Amino acid sequence: MGGLFDEKEGAIVWRKILLVLVTLGVLGLAGCGGGPKKVDVVVTLDDKPLEGATVTFQPTDGSGTPASGMTDSSGKVSVTFRNKSKDGNYKVTVVKSASEPAAKDMKPGSPEYLKFMEKRSKEKASAKDGETKSLVPEKYATAAKTPLECKVPPASQPVELKLTSK
């Protein structure tokens, strides 16, 4: 046949084109950012790791869903953001109470754990003064009072929350 390529060369060209298209498709999907985003957080109180604290990120623009998790013995937690607020800015609350049940038996990110953390966050938001004594200063307990605010960074940059007892 009088084609530009013989059959073997044509197959090679089509494979290269297909490879380029697949690569572009994968890169396009990776850049969308529409899926859940996991952010590592480190919480310290007076420069010491804070274990067993509930860390909640609440969107400042009122859109989206709060994201929360409980710190481990080294003060670390990975928080998964399901749907990011429009501006990416969050108020951060940190609460630790001796009277709260721990979620240690639950796997972080599991439906049971997420339901527990959402319930705990709602309870904290509706608690009256004096109902629950936090083991960290009260200024960190509510979105209205907390001085902690951040823009959710890329997953490779941990959020450091340095709390002080004064």
Structure tokens at 69: 């998790």
Averaged pLDDT of the chain: 76
Residue pair 107/113 in contact by the 8 Å Cβ criterion: yes
> Containing H/E element for 112?
helix 111-126
Tokens linked to 7: 């059959």
Window from 17-31, 33-47, 106-120 with minimum mean pLDDT: 17-31
- Dihedral over Cα of 39, 160, 120, 60: its sign: negative
Higher-confidence position of 6 and 78: 78
Q: What are the backbone dihedrals phi and psi of residue 141, each rounded to the nearest 5 degrees, phi first? A: -85, -25
- What's the rounded Cα separation, in Å, for the pair 75 and 128? 27
